[in-house]
């Protein structure tokens, strides 16, 4: 008979279960032996086989040791189940991930199209609202400008603006010599600010009249070149020679040639004088009066007491031809239809077709109408070269340069005086005559109205008198009847 012992509390058949304390304190062993015929066993009917009896039997577990074994088997079964299912799920994971990716991509595509449609709709609505607001704002601005232009055309406003322009022009004439004498280092900056302001104002004024092609003329080009020398290339002797010759040459002589007039109440005429007079004065100040003996600000003046004739003339003519070629390609070639149709006015069309041009227009038409513009361009090139030769001397001699500038100013003043006496006075006389006619018409109208009122009053008095006489006659007749 084989016996085995299992740790833990067990059941002993020989012991009595009278006390629970004795069971817990005394370790018991359970003997497993062959079944007794008179003893109750857990074997079935086939357990009486001698072979089965001689072999070892499996220990019979008690109630207490059965629970951990069941839990262990359950845990093992659960782990096996989880591992099997997890392996199946891991096997299907790429397929599932691909399905999720496709679903998300389709949803994203749908949402993207929906969002795109919504944004397009909102953008269309916003654009429509913006166009509507822009149109409304434009109409308001046009209305305000129309009211402003109408008010600006009033006689009182025109006279006030002329007074303001005259005062500012006189202030400019007084301040410029003072600045040249006391603060010559300020002259380049003052020139730049004033030229930029006047040209900008002229552009907007000429744009309304379709005259803005005038701003492509050489005088504006030279002003830009002078500013480039002052602030960008002050070390360039070639550029200094070019701008000096063009400023003290054709640009300065234009005051004499084109009769620029210093009419202080006219912004247009003051601007014309300024853009021709200011560059020569600025370069004159930089050359002779600028407080910088070492020429640190304008290095091109260092060791350059005389302009190199060949280099300066070459640079000046090259700069002039650059402008002339660009002007011809733009105005004469590219925008030819606009100019010929009258939509745009240029200095060429104005000079060549203006009867007041006199000798210039006649000379330009020497070879006929077809070649008038090339002829005029050739004459202008000769005029530029000759005046540049004189400008070479002004760089060398201070007194000649000073006298030349004073003479230019006097010429512009004389032209302005001629304008006031010959042109403006006639316009003023016409205005006075028109005013006198208006006053006479008003007086005559008042006299006629007064005569009409007098006639009406006399008629009313006659009618009233006749009515009173008729009433008196009626009273007399009635009295006679009563008698």
Q: What is the pLDDT of residues 366-407, one digit of tens each?
A: 888 888 889 999 999 999 999 999 999 999 999 999 999 999
Task: Write the pLDDT tens digit of every residue in 322-357.
Answer: 999 999 999 989 998 888 888 888 888 887 776 565
Give the C-alpha separation, 151 to 143, whole Å.
Answer: 12
Confidence at residue 422, expressed as pLDDT on a 0 to 100 scale: 81
Average pLDDT over residues 182-211: 94
Q: Which two tokens stand for residue 140?
A: 């308001």
Confidence at residue 108, expressed as pLDDT on a 0 to 100 scale: 78
Query: Which candidate, 360, 382, 388, 383, places its Cα nearest to that of 372?
Result: 360
Query: Which candidate, 61, 290, 324, 318, places its Cα nearest to that of 217?
Result: 324
408 or 449: whose pLDDT is higher? Answer: 408
Confidence at residue 2, expressed as pLDDT on a 0 to 100 scale: 38
Q: Which two tokens stand for residue 430?
A: 């016409």
Task: Write the pLDDT tens digit of every residue in 140-151.
Answer: 787 877 777 676
Give the C-alpha separation, 124 to 130, whole Å.
Answer: 10
Are 281 and 405 in contact by the 8 Å Cβ rule? The answer is yes
Give the C-alpha separation, 224 to 90, whole Å.
Answer: 79
Who contacts 318 (Cβ-Cβ below 8 Å, separation ≥6)?
242
Confidence at residue 276, expressed as pLDDT on a 0 to 100 scale: 97
Confidence at residue 45, expressed as pLDDT on a 0 to 100 scale: 43
Give the C-alpha separation, 113 to 105, whole Å.
Answer: 12
Lowest mean pLDDT among 31-45, 57-71, 249-263, 316-330: 31-45
Average pLDDT over residues 219-234: 97
Query: Which candidate, 260, 265, 91, places its Cα nearest to that of 168?
Result: 265
Percent of the chain with pLDDT over 70: 74
Task: Provide the mean pLDDT of the chain.
Answer: 79
pLDDT band for position 9 (cuts 50, 70, 90) = very low
Confidence at residue 225, expressed as pLDDT on a 0 to 100 scale: 97
pLDDT band for position 464 (cuts 50, 70, 90) = confident
pLDDT band for position 58 (cuts 50, 70, 90) = very low
Residue 193 has pLDDT above 90, yes or no: yes
Query: Which candidate, 10, 12, 56, places its Cα nearest to that of 33?
Result: 56
Are 292 and 205 in contact by the 8 Å Cβ rule? The answer is no
pLDDT band for position 99 (cuts 50, 70, 90) = confident
Lowest mean pLDDT among 172-176, 314-318, 422-426: 422-426
Give the C-alpha separation, 351 to 357, whole Å.
Answer: 6
Confidence at residue 13, expressed as pLDDT on a 0 to 100 scale: 40
Average pLDDT over residues 226-232: 97
- Which sign, positive or negative, has the C-alpha torsion 66, 69, 75, 77? negative
Confidence at residue 53, expressed as pLDDT on a 0 to 100 scale: 41
């Amino acid at each position: 008979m084989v016996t085995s012992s299992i740790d833990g509390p067990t059941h002993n058949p020989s012991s009595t279960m009278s006390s629970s304390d004795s069971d817990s304190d005394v370790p018991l062993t359970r003997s497993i032996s062959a079944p007794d015929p008179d003893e109750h066993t857990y074997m079935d009917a086939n357990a009486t086989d001698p072979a089965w009896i001689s072999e070892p039997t499996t220990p019979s577990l008690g109630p207490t040791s059965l629970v951990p074994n069941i839990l262990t088997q359950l845990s093992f079964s659960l782990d096996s189940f989880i591992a099997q299912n997890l392996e199946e799920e891991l096997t299907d994971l790429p397929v599932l991930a691909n399905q999720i990716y496709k679903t998300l991509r389709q949803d994203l595509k749908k949402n993207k199209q929906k969002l795109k449609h919504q944004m397009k709709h909102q953008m269309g609505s916003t654009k429509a609202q913006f166009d509507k607001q822009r149109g409304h704002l434009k109409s308001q601005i046009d209305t305000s400008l129309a009211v402003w232009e109408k008010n600006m055309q009033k006689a009182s406003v025109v006279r006030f603006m002329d007074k303001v322009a005259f005062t500012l022009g006189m202030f400019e004439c007084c301040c410029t010599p003072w600045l040249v004498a006391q603060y010559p280092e300020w002259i380049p900056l003052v020139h730049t600010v004033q030229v930029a302001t006047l040209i900008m104002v002229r552009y907007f004024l000429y744009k309304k009249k379709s005259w803005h092609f005038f701003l492509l003329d050489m005088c504006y080009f030279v002003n830009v070149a002078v500013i480039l020398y002052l602030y960008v290339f002050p070390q360039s002797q070639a550029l200094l020679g070019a701008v000096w010759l063009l400023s003290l040459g054709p640009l300065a002589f234009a005051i004499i040639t084109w009769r620029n007039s210093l009419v202080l109440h006219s912004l247009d005429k003051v601007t014309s004088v300024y853009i021709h007079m200011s560059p020569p004065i600025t370069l004159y100040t930089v050359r002779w009066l600028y407080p910088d003996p070492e020429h640190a600000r304008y290095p091109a003046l260092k060791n350059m007491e005389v302009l190199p004739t060949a280099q300066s003339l070459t640079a000046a003519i090259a700069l002039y031809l650059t402008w002339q070629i660009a002007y011809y390609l733009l105005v004469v070639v590219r925008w030819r239809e606009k100019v010929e149709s009258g939509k745009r006015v240029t200095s060429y069309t104005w000079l060549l077709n203006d009867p007041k041009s006199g000798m210039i227009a006649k000379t330009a038409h020497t070879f006929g109408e077809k070649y008038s513009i090339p002829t005029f361009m050739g004459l202008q090139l000769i005029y530029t070269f000759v005046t540049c030769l004189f400008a070479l001397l002004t760089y060398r001699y201070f007194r000649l340069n000073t006298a030349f500038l004073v003479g230019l100013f006097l010429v512009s003043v004389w032209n302005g005086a001629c304008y006031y006496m010959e042109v403006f006075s006639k316009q003023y006389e016409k205005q006075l005559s028109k005013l006198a006619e208006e006053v006479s018409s008003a007086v005559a109208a008042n006299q006629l109205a007064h005569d009409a009122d007098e006639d009406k009053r006399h008629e009313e008095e006659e009618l009233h008198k006749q009515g009173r006489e008729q009433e008196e006659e009626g009273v007399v007749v009635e009295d006679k009847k009563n008698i």
